[in-house]
Amino acid sequence: MALRLPPFQPLPPPPEGQPLLEVPIAQLQPTQLCVGLAEVRSRQADFRIENTRERRDYLGSKPVPLVRSADGALWMVDRHHRLRALMELVPQATAFGYIALQLDTDDRSAVLADLQRRGWLYLYDGRGLGPLHPRVLPADLLGLQDDPYRSLVWKLKREGVVQPAPLIPFHEFRWGAWLRRRPLPPFSSARLEPALPSARALARSTAASHLAGWTGLR
């Protein structure tokens, strides 16, 4: 199914010369409905071999763009996979972020409506169904569903079959929606191998050339 996403307003970069906010991950509200659990598990493996200093340095180098409402509630507009991974390992962990948008309302519905207008919500579930109503967004990262196609695209990116496209909103989910319409053997986020040969061939085919990050035939 095609993603009927609204035009995307680019996120501002972290402000230069200003300190980052350190916030508990458990307090951050997600702006998407699902993640690829294969990527989450991979990031957890990385976190397990880092010491506290290394982890803090890494998180500080990848600050989270945040939207803050008038009552101080925070929504994260990126970094869902790495922070979901860390929150499962260390529930009380903190992360670093910056305010990408300050809103003058404390009404949750109004906040989500504003984010939706900016294209800062991904409202498709783990089966690719949507867009759903913003009210179904979970309150924290642990409520995110698994989307095996998002996991599959993560693996293709790791292999260099699909290139990153950081300026394209929900880049990996767009690839996942495209692959959903193609015949693939049964697979899961825990067992991607059955689908990988077909997915690689499809992602390299000219049929995928309209997607950002396409690498072409090779």
Mean of pLDDT over the chain: 94
Report CA-CA distances (Å) from 74 to 9, 59, 78: 19, 17, 12
Q: What angle do CA 69, 72, 78 make, to 5 degrees?
A: 65
Name residue 74's beta-bridge partners: 28, 68
**30-68: pLDDT as tens digits:** 999 999 999 999 999 999 999 999 999 999 999 999 999
Instruction: Please check whether residue 137 is in contact with residue 31, taking contact to mean a CB–CB distance below 8 angstroms.
Output: yes
How large is the greatest C-alpha to C-alpha distance in the chain, in angstroms?
52
Sequence-separated (6 or more) residues with CB below 8 Å from residue 210: none
* Nearest CA-CA partner of 31 in 79, 83, 77: 77
* Nearest CA-CA partner of 44 in 82, 96, 91, 94: 82
* Nearest CA-CA partner of 25 in 71, 70, 79: 79
Residue-by-residue pLDDT tens, the chain, 218 positions: 556 666 788 888 898 888 999 999 999 999 999 999 999 999 999 999 999 999 999 999 999 999 999 999 999 999 999 999 999 999 999 999 999 999 999 999 999 999 999 989 999 999 999 999 999 999 999 999 999 999 999 999 999 999 998 777 788 999 999 999 999 999 999 999 999 999 999 999 999 999 999 998 66
The tally of CA atoms less than 13 A away on the side-chain side of residue 142 is: 10
Q: How many other CB atoms sit within 10 Å of the CB of residue 184? A: 17
Question: Which parts of the chain are beta strand (E)?
Answer: 21-24, 28-29, 34-35, 64-68, 74-76, 94-102, 145-146
The residue behind tokens 């990996």 is 172
What confidence score (pLDDT) does residue 68 get? 98
Domains belonging to the chain, first-starting first, are 21-145 (3.90.1530.10), 147-208 (1.10.8)
The residue behind tokens 């993560």 is 154
Query: Would you state the structure tokens that stand for residue 14, as one six-digit string?
Result: 């972290």
Q: Letter for the amino acid at 106?
A: D
Taking the C-alpha atoms of residue 195 and residue 216, their distance in angstroms, rounded to an integer, is: 19
